[in-house]
Chains A and B, each alone.
Chain A
Amino acid sequence: MTTTTSTQTPTGAGGGAFQRGLRTFLRSRETGILAALVIVVLITTIKNPSFLFSQDGFRDLLLTPSILVLVAVGQAIVIITRSVDLSVGSVVGLTAYLTGRLFIDVPGIPIIVVFAAGMALGAALGLLNGALVAFGKVPALVITLGTLYAYRGINVLWAGSNRVNASDLPKDFLALGTSALLFVPYLTIIALIVVLVAGWYLRNQRGGRELYAIGSDPDAAQLYGLGVTRRILVAFLLCGALAGLAGVLFAARYGTTNSQTGTGLELQAVGAAVIGGVAIFGGSGTVYGAAIGAVLLLTINRALPILGIPDFWQQAVVGTLIIGAIVLDRVLSLRLSRQLISEREVSA
């Protein structure tokens, strides 16, 4: 969403609109990050063709990032409103464990009910975050840092040293986590649907646009008479529900869950959103960017060992990527505002 029309040309019809669309596409952050992803995949595939061209390689490429994509989409929605949700890792942990317990404690429970339960628990935990932020007027960073530990604590209390194993789960459910429809894993299909629906909502619904407005300038949103409190609640609720969905799918994908499931996922999700061009101060970016960011993050992690870069450097590379993304944003926006000021000086 970084359209910079510095020259105020009146817009023509037809070809003009197409050209403008093309320029927007080429300049957009999502395109850049997608290009980076393609380059990473290309280089790694040249080094080791099975990274892309073996059946497992192709499947892993799509399957591995799918859960993070879900969490990153939720995170992006919250960050767009100028908040952040650090508790998502713990929410994934709780809902993943809930999934296991439901299959063990309620034999024969329909899979769809488990999905609903996981998402409902996630939504409730997200709503609690949102309520504390919206009504307590405390920065989300602090609130969700608190619930990060609180939710994890509940998980530890509940699970203790128990763990749910793959053998406790129904085969149909586990199949959902690994099998594919025409080479595309179910998990990836679910993630893709979520990304498209969330992206459509944020772009085309009043509620979605208001999330951007609130993040862009909260005071102005108040002056406009937008329902700021309600929107923030909704953003956190969606984020929680998506983390809940991710938790259920985590159980399906890996089979094993314990009290530490999902630890650290929150930072990966924030990182993915930032890399994907979601401004940490809210108001701009898309869930598409966040999703591609998530894929890039995990693909790099898998590519580095193949390229012969030691484990030791992997985290540093991810860190550099995040800092690079933020510096890039800052430099671009500074340059833009400077340019606009000097243009005004000249015309005045």
Chain B
Amino acid sequence: MSISPSNSGPPALELRGVAKAFGSVVALTSADLTVHMNSIHALVGENGAGKSTLVKIVAGLYQRDAGDFLLRGESVDFRSTAEAKAAGIAVIYQEPTLFPDLSVTENIFMGRQPTQRFGRIDRKAMRAEAEELFTRLAVRIDPDRPAEGLSIADQQIIEIAKAISVDARVLIMDEPTAALSGVEVDRLFAVARSLRDEGRALVFISHRFDEVFALCDTITVMRDGQYISTDAIQSTSVDEIVRRMVGREVTDLFPKEVAPVGDVLLEVEGLTSAGVFHDVSFTVRSGEIVGLSGLVGAGRSEIVRAVFGVDRYDSGAVRMHGKSVPKLNPTAAMAAGMALVPEDRRKQGLVLESSVARNLTLSTRTRLSRFGFIDSSLENRAAKDWAGRLEVKTNALDTEVGTLSGGNQQKVVLGKWLSTNPEVLIIDEPTRGIDVGTKAEVHRLLSQLAGEGLGIVMISSELPEILGTADRVLVVREGRITAEISRADATAESIMFAATHSTESIQ
């Protein structure tokens, strides 16, 4: 931390009052970010605070709706990633995008390989340069091996090598450490510091405060698409930053009726899938909502998909009412009384081109058919019942589902699964992309269902939602459950802490 940012001359990167909306969903209202040369700048905020959108604007992937975007003091307007790249901006994403079939060397130089006569690629020169880059970064990666199967850490190193080889002046790293082990993080930080000392500007996005405070010299906080504050790292503290990230009253938005908690319905014991999640155990009782919290990519969706039998797992057991549920068999899971409402409802939950009625009855079609044909009067009656109970706002049951709003689509998905009369409902990000009013309705509905004796597992990346609706919170970090917090003890800070710190430091 010896080097302080040199403030002479214009900043390497400056954003002022940047706004961006996708249709009616506002991702950024007013974002500011000023990054100087010779500096590693932390950008922090909750999931959905708008960090990724901001990064994509800088990278040229999105175009801003309003605000200023300056690079070394000059206003810029990128229409493509190629333009941003040419201007010296490199973005290293959490999951790098490499060409799996091609060699490491080719991945670094694709599109600008050194050539000889007749445009022939100079493989020798290319390989030598790749080796030189790796030597400079002090890493050992075989330049000839295919990118397929490289660890995320190595893939990021390749992205960094790529950035250095085009002499990028601004490097943005979007949660680069999320999937790295301790040693790999150390290596990445050593590389980052040497890049800073070469006079480059780095932006480091991370949820791990210990890392942020170890690496960065300046920190900017964002919340709800807005700029909150920028401080020198020495003059602030973790508590201070977390408070600013969360900073809002949450309780009144989510009406919660506490239901009597009954018997254990679902038991998950020691569930492990190599490389995805490890030793996951929890129970769900009738009448309770169990919140599954954690950062995006922590493995929450993967866990419930395995529980429901969509994905495989290597060891462990899933039991309903004490009876074990076979793995990799969603039909058996449904028969045992489970229902899974997936995260991406457009892709996994709905047949967008079909009618509301057909979608609502999709999972009960065998019950509604006679002689193997679906009885449409039976189907319509069943659908009407559910559409009414869930207050799906649609003119007619034969409207195409794709034309409904996000909130109503979510209700149709919910209705589809509730019509199977499940005892345990697993719901992944129930209110993603839904406006605030409908959100409250979905929460009321979940609360009411729990009151009727359903056990609910709810994955949510929104802390207020978890705090408002869950009776118990399980925090997942890097494929492991790192904390179980009761409703009384759950605070945004305690959950955020468990989601960003390793298990050892909690116990």
Contacts and interface: CB of A to CB of B under 8 A. Distances in A.
B22 to A, nearest CB: 19
Contacts of B80: 225
Given A8-B140, A283-B99, A345-B275, 12 more contacts: A4-B146, A8-B145, A20-B144, A205-B120, A206-B113, A217-B97, A220-B98, A221-B99, A223-B97, A336-B148, A340-B149, A344-B151
A287 to B, nearest CB: 15
B102 interface: yes
Interface of B: 61, 80-82, 85, 97-102, 106, 110-113, 115, 119-121, 140-142, 144-146, 148-149, 151, 181, 274-275
Contacts of A8: 140-142, 145
A222 B140 CA distance: 28
Nearest to B60: A225
Nearest to B96: A220
A204 B97 CA distance: 23
Contacts of A1: 101
A342 B120 contact: no
A219 interface: yes
Contacts of B61: 223
A74 to B, nearest CB: 20
Contact of A224 (B110, B142, B274): B110
A341 B275 contact: yes
A3 interface: yes
A226 to B, nearest CB: 5
A237 to B, nearest CB: 18
Nearest to A337: B149
Interface centre among B99, B106, B120 (most CB of A within 10 A): B99
A206 B85 CA distance: 18
Interface string A195-233: 000000000111001101101110111111110000000
B110 A223 contact: no
State the main secondary structure of chain A at its contact with B. helix
B120 A204 contact: yes
**How big is the A interface, by class?**
35 or more
B274 A206 contact: no
Contacts of B102: 209, 212-213, 216, 283
Interface in A105-142: none
Contact of A225 (B111, B144, B274, B275): B111
B121 A206 contact: yes
Contacts of A337: 148-149
Contacts of A342: 274
Interface string A1-38: 10111001111000000001000000000000000000
Contacts of A222: 81
Contacts of B274: 341-342, 345
Cβ-closest 7 pairs across A and B: A225-B82, A340-B149, A283-B101, A220-B97, A216-B99, A216-B101, A284-B101
Nearest to B162: A224
A316 interface: no
A348 interface: yes
Contact of A348 (B82, B145, B148, B181): B181
B81 A206 contact: no
B84 to A, nearest CB: 9
B100 A344 contact: no
B99 A220 contact: yes
A348 B153 CA distance: 12
Contacts of B151: 344
A317 B406 CA distance: 51
B111 A226 contact: yes
Interface string A152-164: 0000000000000
A20 B113 CA distance: 23
Interface string A263-289: 000000000000000010001100000
Given A5-B142, A213-B110, A225 B85 contact: yes
Contact of B144 (A3, A215, A283, A336): A3
B121 A205 contact: yes
Nearest to A206: B113
A220 B102 CA distance: 12
Contact of A213 (B81, B99, B140): B99
A5 B144 contact: yes
Given A216-B99, A217-B99, A341-B275, A209 B113 contact: yes
5 contacts: A20-B144, A206-B115, A220-B98, A224-B110, A337-B148
A205 to B, nearest CB: 6
A20 B142 CA distance: 13
A178 B126 CA distance: 45
A101 to B, nearest CB: 37
A206 B101 contact: no
A161 B149 CA distance: 57
B165 to A, nearest CB: 13
A284 B142 CA distance: 20
B142 A9 contact: yes
Contacts of B101: 1, 212, 215-216, 279, 283-284
A11 B144 contact: yes
B370 to A, nearest CB: 36
Contacts of A225: 80-82, 85, 111
Contact of B142 (A11, A205, A219, A341): A11
Interface string A331-348: 000001100111011001
A57 to B, nearest CB: 39
B232 to A, nearest CB: 33
Interface centre among B110, B119, B120 (most CB of A within 10 A): B110
A277 B500 CA distance: 45
A67 B244 CA distance: 70
Contact of B111 (A4, A205, A210): A210
B94 to A, nearest CB: 14
Nearest to B127: A11
Contacts of A284: 101
